[in-house]
Amino acid sequence: MKPYHLGLDVGGTNLAAAIVDNDFNILSHKSIPAGAGRDWQAITADFAAASRAAIDAAGVSIEDIECWGIGMPSCIDTRTGLLVNAHQFGWKNVPIREWLKPLLPLDVRIDNDANCAAYGEALAGAAKGRANVIMLTLGTGVGSGIIIDGHIFKGADGMGAEIGHSTLVQGGRTCNCGRKGCVEAYCSATALIKRGREIFGDACTNAKSIFDKALSGDGRAVDLIDEYATYLAYSLSSVTAIFRPEVLILGGGVADAGDYLLDKVNALMPKATYNGETTGVPPVVRATLGNAAGLIGAAFL
């Protein structure tokens, strides 16, 4: 393996690129606006521009870089490099790997951003040294990544691992994806804030304000966080019954709210999980790398 890796984390707002060494240190970091809405030629040219800037800033030679790993918020067929559906860019069924190949003389590897984040946390973060890890990122939606025996698990055709769109309450709340009762419709930050608005009115615009109210003793906020923790615990218990991971990681702004939520979820897990009181349950921990997780995970695809 060559000494350096190039990771690109493609978001709806920014394109972030980094050079990472084999000890998972980030040697350089460059971020530019994603400029969603422009045509694909312009945007993918900027994929390369951000990446070249990171290479220059690190002062490494392109010959010493193992690969160009890219994490994108998209359903990707990783066997063929086909980007099946990237909502934020309005791209469907585009051969993204072929587009990108001419832009940098490096092997292009591409995967879903939530897979990359889970992989980064397993390599260098909250689950460092663990080979079997599941991570949920609680944000606008619920991203998920599954690591089995040290490898990203993506399902038979590379388009799976969508825990956010497994069912938590059949026939329940309508999800962004059009289905009813998805984990995402209950466990995303958006879902929590929406419930907060129902209770506290339009002044409730973020998850932190709900946690602050709960911590200051507001009974309605305590009840709401209890409800949310229960949704999370049952979502995590379902994947635990199936995967029995060594550790479960929560990422995203909601997870950063503090130990209050994590403590509740961990307390619920033994009863919520099949055979949990007999066989034990994995600890639920907070992601530690923040945005770097996706970059490191992408760099090591």
Distances (CA, A) of 260 to 208, 211, 288: 11, 8, 17
Q: In the complex, what is the shortest distance from the CB of residue 162 to a second copy, in angstroms, rounded to a whole number?
A: 4
Which residues 220-249 are close enough to bind a second copy by CB under 8 A?
Answer: 230-231, 234-235, 237-246
Question: Please, what is the end-to-end C-alpha distance for the chain in angstroms?
Answer: 12
Strand order in the sheet with 65-72: 26-33, 14-21, 4-10, 65-72, 108-112
Verify binding: residue 140, a second copy, rule CB under 8 A. no
Residues in 185-204 at the binding interface with a second copy, rule: CB under 8 A: 186
Residues 6+ apart with CB under 8 A from 115: 71, 145, 146, 152, 154, 161, 297
Interface pattern 249-278 for a second copy (x via CB under 8 A): ----------------------xx-xx--x
CA distance 297 to 116: 4
Task: Find the shortest distance in angstroms from Cβ 161 to a second copy.
Answer: 6
Residue 71 contacts a second copy per CB under 8 A: no
> Counting contacts by CB under 8 A, is residue 87 touching a second copy?
no
Positions in 13-52 near a second copy (CB under 8 A): none
Per CB under 8 A, the list member of 32, 52, 160, 173 interacting with a second copy is: 160
Query: Bridge partners of 33?
Result: 14
Q: Residue 253: what residue type?
A: G
Mapped onto helix, strand or coil, the DSSP state of residue 157 is: coil
CB of 223 to a second copy, least distance (A): 15
Residues in touch with a second copy (CB under 8 A): 75, 84-85, 131-132, 146, 148, 154-163, 165-171, 177, 179, 181-182, 186, 230-231, 234-235, 237-246, 271-272, 274-275, 278-279
